[in-house]
A and B are shown apart, each in its own frame.
Chain A
Amino acid sequence: MSIRKIYISVSLVSTLLILGYYLLNLIPMMRQGDLNSEDVFRLAAIAIIASIVLNIAGNILTNIVIHIIHAIQTQSDKEVRLIEDERDKLISLKGAQVSYVAFSLGVLASMLAFVLGQPALVMFCLIIFFSLLAEICGDLAQFYYYSRGS
């Protein structure tokens, strides 16, 4: 597995964890029918902040682990070449495009739910859900492009 794939995997796992946490808290609220704005906004804020923090922490940890493994394998203090070349940039752009399309469709679906009579709070919950889903789609797309070659 290449270094880029490891970084994408870390991002994918952290976003999946956040999505899991978000759904595990949101679904019981919806089932009980007591969706109140304060709880929903707090949950959304936790999900967004945790997503950022987990991604940064994950990247730092991955960096450390990669450097340690590289040092053990090569038995030298030569640094790992962590450059982003044109292919990496292209794949990153393709991933961002997939994320953008997924998020746009998600926002459209959320608005459709609002138009069909769901409360505004449900629309907000759906937008947060689709933003996390879009990030997962982008990561999966990048993973696919790296596996395919470009």
Chain B
Amino acid sequence: MEKYKVRNKLRKLRFLNGEMTQEQLAEKAGVTRQTIIAIEGSKYAPSLELAFKIALAFGVPLGEVFSYEIGDE
């Protein structure tokens, strides 16, 4: 059975938002920098609420930040 995984474009979006730092994004989303690092590395799938907060921080729809794709572990 194919294994799906939550993927994200945090790195790209941070770059497009004037090289926003992980710390700045963490502050906007109300989480720790370690959590942003874990999400960016696809090691942690955020809750729906946190995913919305992150999308809101970038000012884009949720689908532009996160996607659900077949993982390659």
Contacts and interface: CB of A to CB of B under 8 A. Distances in A.
Interface of A: 2, 4, 81, 83, 85-88, 146, 148-150
Nearest to A4: B34
The 3 closest A-B pairs by CB, nearest first: A149-B43, A150-B44, A85-B31
B39 to A, nearest CB: 9
Contact of B43 (A81, A83, A85, A148): A148
A85 B32 contact: yes
Interface size grouping (class) on chain B: 10 to 19
B71 interface: no
Interface string B34-56: 11001001011111001000000
17 contacts: A2-B34, A4-B34, A81-B26, A81-B27, A83-B30, A83-B32, A85-B30, A85-B32, A85-B35, A85-B50, A86-B31, A86-B35, A86-B46, A87-B35, A146-B34, A149-B38, A149-B41
Contacts of B47: 86
Given A148-B43, A150-B43, A88 B32 contact: yes
A87 B41 CA distance: 14
Max chain B CB contacts within 10 Å: which of A2, A81, A149?
Answer: A149
Contacts of A87: 31-32, 34-35, 38, 44
A85 B35 CA distance: 8
Contacts of A81: 26-27, 32
A60 B44 CA distance: 30
B44 to A, nearest CB: 4
Contacts of A85: 30-32, 35, 50
Contacts of B50: 85-86
